[in-house]
Amino acid sequence: MLFSRIVTLVALGFANLSLAESEGDSELETGSLTTETGSHMHSPPLETPPPETTPAGTPPAGTTPATTPPAESPSATDSETAVQTATRTCGFRQDPCPTDQACKPNFARCWIPSRCTGKCVYRNRYRQCGSSNPRAPRCVRPNYECRTDPRTPSGSSICLPKKLATCGGITGKKCPRGLFCYDDPSDNCNPASGGADCPGVCV
């Protein structure tokens, strides 16, 4: 009897010791978990650097800034000698231009019109005018005015002398050297419509 009680007490002692150890391990695990959780909860948030801002109009890094070409302004010389083109082809295997026109090749490297195609342009060139645009060219030479181009009445107006030399008509008057005779668009007489005695103007 005594021996069985001693065995029972020893067994109970080992059981209590195992229970105590298991409870201690549980407390340690719970404490470590709490510590880790707390450290995560109370750790300061990571700071995110602000995005880099690029000033307006500045190209991205590593790219070449695009250059804006300057606005083109019409040259006074170019305006004065602007080429008035007739609606006629010329050059290689084409009929020659009228006497008041010259053949201008279509290619910059072609200097002989008979070897390449081109367009007939008037030999005498005048400043264009008459546009409603306030910045359009105006007649600046003394005693010049903006008039309908006698060569192309339905086209743009050009700057011509206020008093033009007359030609043709009944007298058959010739124009001064370097000028050509055209019908005067300001009168009601048209030589192409039976008006053989219509005087013309030299342009």
pLDDT single digits (tens) 123-141: 999 998 876 666 777 898 9
Is residue 22's pLDDT more than 60?
no
Is residue 148's pLDDT more than 70?
yes
88: helix, coil or strand? strand
**CA separation (Å) from 5 to 8, 101, 170, 173?**
5, 142, 163, 160
Task: Output the six-digit token pair for 141.
Answer: 């030479």
- Mean pLDDT (the chain, rounded): 69
Helix-strand-coil percent breakdown of the chain, rounded to 5? 25, 20, 55
Band of residue 165 on the pLDDT scale cut at 50, 70, 90:
very high
Distance CA 93, CA 146 (A): 38
Task: Output the six-digit token pair for 88.
Answer: 């006629």
- Stretch 30-50: mean pLDDT, rounded? 42
Band of residue 31 on the pLDDT scale cut at 50, 70, 90:
very low
Is residue 201's pLDDT more than 90?
yes
Q: List CB contacts of 112: < 8 A, sequence separation 6 or more.
A: 105
